[in-house]
Amino acid sequence: MKQEYQEVVLRACGASSLRVGARIQRLWSGYGEIVRLHLEGCERPSVVVKHVKFPARAEENTPEGRSQARKVRSYVVETHWYQNYSTLSCRTPSCLAACSDGDEMLIVLEDMDVAGYEQRRTSVKDKEMRACLSWLAHFHALFLGVAPEGLWAVGTYWHLETRPDELEAMDDAQLRAAAGDIDRTLSRCRFQTLVHGDAKLANFCFSRSGQEVAAVDFQYVGGGCGMKDVVYFLGSCMEERECDKKVPGLLEHYFSELKVSASKDVDFAALEEEWREMFAFAWTDFHRFLLGWMPGHWKINRYSKQLTKEVLHKLKL
């Protein structure tokens, strides 16, 4: 890490010295890494830094160029989120500092392990899924009607406009032809909020009991229907055989939490009716992306295909 970046961390935390600890993970496509830094001489024992290093610029109007532009934009959005929105949000890491220099960026974040959210899950029980859905419900209620200024106009990393190459690669001609209508249906919802945009299980940090959660990774936060986060989260937790059995109850929990959190001025009955209708559309929208991105993915299953069939039938009607 550059000396000037170390000085940014020391200054932000009021520390006298730091030691680079373990790498938590590499960033997608080799764009850098997330590392824990151990501090001396201040109240914080450690912080987590997201250190981004962009590769050489790819040629524009190529799949590689579009992919790179999307990733670069995502880190700019994430920095803006942490600096301007995160203090208003549900439990997320506090942003202590952020800076950029040429082809590098640094975001200095509160260490969620120290904050009591040290648990990560690769599989979850119902209570843990409900905890994550409660977080999403509070998040969506908090930002209901808020314009995504400085964020993605339409959140989620699979948004159709940002994924022309995956759309072109699809073998399912019927779904490919309907992709624009599905996207417009979601975008024209009366009730819009901010969506996390990558609300998979891996992006939630759990308390030891599993009943409290915090969320990380806001590269694709932006405007949209809350169902986009819900379907993506549920799909990251459950295999095909569990969906029919568990989804109805989990949706009941989400909407009950959303109702408690939403402003009394919101026509909640209308919101719930609209978003329940959008559940299948949001699931189909992500299914569309997977078919073009990785057609052998385990999430392409009978449950997804059945919801897609229902959506295509509704569009015909």
Give the global pTM. Answer: 0.96
Q: Rounded CA gap, 173 and 130, in Å?
A: 36
Q: What is the pLDDT along the chain (317 residues), one digit of tens a residue?
A: 789 999 999 999 999 999 999 999 999 988 999 999 999 999 999 999 999 999 888 898 899 999 999 999 999 999 999 999 988 879 999 999 999 988 899 999 999 999 999 999 999 999 999 999 999 999 999 999 999 999 999 999 999 999 999 999 999 999 999 999 999 999 999 999 999 999 999 999 999 999 999 999 999 999 999 999 999 999 999 999 999 999 999 999 999 999 999 999 999 999 999 999 999 999 999 999 999 999 999 999 999 999 999 999 999 98
Residue-range domains of the chain with CATH:
3-110 (3.30.200.20), 126-316 (3.90.1200.10)
d(CA 205, CA 215): 6
CB 291 within 8 A of CB 173: no
Contacts of 82 (CB under 8 A, 6+ apart): 92, 93, 95, 98, 107, 109, 218
